[in-house]
Structure 1
Amino acid sequence: MSDTQSSCTVLFQGDSITDGNRGRSEDPNHIHGHGYVYLIASRIGAAYAEHGLTFINRGVSGDRAVDLYARWETEALAYRPRMISILVGINDVLRGIGEGNANFDRYERSLRRLLEEARENDPSVTLVVCEPFALRTGMTAERWEQDWEPRLIEKQQTARAVAEEYGAIFVPLQSVFNDACKRADASYWMWDGVHPTTAGHTLLAEQWLTAVGFEQWLRERL
């Protein structure tokens, strides 16, 4: 890897939404998965090809915030990225249903540790925290008001507060999907209420690029 690539590495971490069924080999056709990470990497990679940017996807399906923390050193900090983007929380919601506030506390504590250690590792790193999201359809529909919505709102509020505490860029996503439901049914954007469809991933990628101001961020570092 060249010095230019090393200084312009962007790392994406999270759960299955980030994972996107990514390949686990060095096959460049599959390493970014088939979701929003792929869409971002393809668009920016083509536009700024001469700068040798590196996009790394290390999302793992099923992960909660505590699971990200368990592999943070080897699958995040070790790459010495200039930007780290985190999208996690929906599995904390899922596994927290019926368990009181125990998982909420673990989510907040783990997310804070992720950002704290990233800052300690590199004070200049740009941190991005994406808002966890869901829609009332598929697996979430039956207990949306009783369980899913209130717990999701807790995670969203926590994600925003921790992002502000550590000077991270916060990417609001719930409102984007809520607004999109005025154009088409929720299942059009998230087939099971949690995992975005192709159209949903496109919304996610566009909102990420806008909220992060990625092209401006990149120009300032080239």
Structure 2
Amino acid sequence: MAENTRRNFIKKSALASLMAMSLPEVLSASNTVAFNSENKSLTFVFQGDSITDGNRGRTKDPNHIMGHGYVYSIASSIGADFCKDKHHFINKGISGNTISDLEKRWQHDALDLNPDVISILVGINDVASEIEKKPSAINNLEFESKYRKLIVDSKKVNPAMVLVLCLPFVAAVGKRQNDFEIWNKATTEKAMIIQKLAKEYDTVLVNFPQVLEKAIKKVPAEYWIWDGIHPTVPFHTLMAREWIAAVSKKIHFLKGYSGI
């Protein structure tokens, strides 16, 4: 009985530290980029791991290229509702990727695509490597250094580029129930680094942990995250809504757009 009570407490409060992260100073409306949908077609590039990958197709078949996750929802909504502007959406997420993997392919899979917007969701595989003590594991200082390099390299190529940094998340579901405290601590540390970089470089910050915390107040976490790491279809939709809301503070034509 005591153990069940303890677990319920953890589930309710585990993401509190991430939820408490403040966004206003990062997402200041005064720093909005004047992208007007009536006269500019934008290229959006999405980078990350399996959550971004969404089992996307690896061919040019337009029926599968965006995968079946939050990226698909974002691209389908903006693409349909602002169709006259013919915005271009590219999903370059790869399942299992860490920040080191993104660093290795950043030039070819991000910068060479001439993006106006780059969205990054990474960190949970770095947490896994750290906890499982894999040879490829890096510490938090190295994680920050590599992430910072992606930002700096991107800004060098295009100072006006909109960078969207998304916070990783984890839930006490499935295999993550027994070791949740360890995973949550490590994930929170990565998220705090990303928040720090977002503030330092005035990027968009998307607080997915906060979205999850709010969602599990309505129904249990199992409804939203099926294995402790990967979202269900409903949570991918919540992620897409939050992403659009956050990015709208930097891109004019999305201001007030409800999306999905």
Deviations along 1:85-124, whole A, 9 cap, x unmatched? 0000010111111549943222211110110100001111
Q: Which fold has the larger relative contact order, with Cα–Cα distance below 8 Å and residues 6 or more apart in sequence?
A: 2
Q: Which residue among 133, 139, 146 is the counterpart of 1:103?
A: 139
1:128 paired residue number: 164
2:205 paired residue number: 170
1:179-198 aligned at under 5 Å gives the runs 179-198=214-233
Distance in 1, matches of 2:151 and 2:194, equals 11
When the two chains are superposed, the root-mean-square deviation of aligned CA atoms in Å is 2.1
Distance in 1, matches of 2:46 and 2:96, equals 15
- Report if the CA contact (8 A) 1:6-1:81 is conserved: no
Structure 2: gaps (5+ residues): 1-37, 256-260
Does residue 111 of structure 2 align to residue 86 of structure 1? Answer: no
Distance in 2, matches of 1:215 and 1:50, equals 21
- Sequence identity of aligned pairs in percent? 44
Distance in 1, matches of 2:148 and 2:238, equals 27
One-letter amino acid of the counterpart of residue 83, structure 1? V
- Report if the CA contact (8 A) 1:92-1:104 is conserved: no
1:112 paired residue number: 148
One-letter amino acid of the counterpart of residue 54, structure 1? H
Distance in 2, matches of 1:185 and 1:209, equals 25
One-letter amino acid of the counterpart of residue 149, structure 1? N
Distance in 2, matches of 1:219 and 1:169, equals 14
Does residue 109 of structure 2 align to residue 75 of structure 1? Answer: yes
Shift of 1:216: 4.6
Structure 1: gaps (5+ residues): none
Distance in 1, matches of 2:236 and 2:129, equals 23
Distance in 1, matches of 2:174 and 2:39, equals 41
Distance in 2, matches of 1:207 and 1:155, equals 20
Shift of 1:173: 1.1
1:7-156 aligned at under 5 Å gives the runs 7-97=41-131, 99=133, 102-145=138-181, 147-156=182-191
Shift of 1:218: 3.7
Q: Which runs of 4+ in 1 moved over 6 A?
A: none
- Report if the CA contact (8 A) 1:66-1:106 is conserved: no
One-letter amino acid of the counterpart of residue 248, structure 2? G
- Report if the CA contact (8 A) 2:40-2:85 is conserved: no
More displaced, 147-156 or 90-99?
A: 90-99
Distance in 2, matches of 1:149 and 1:219, equals 33
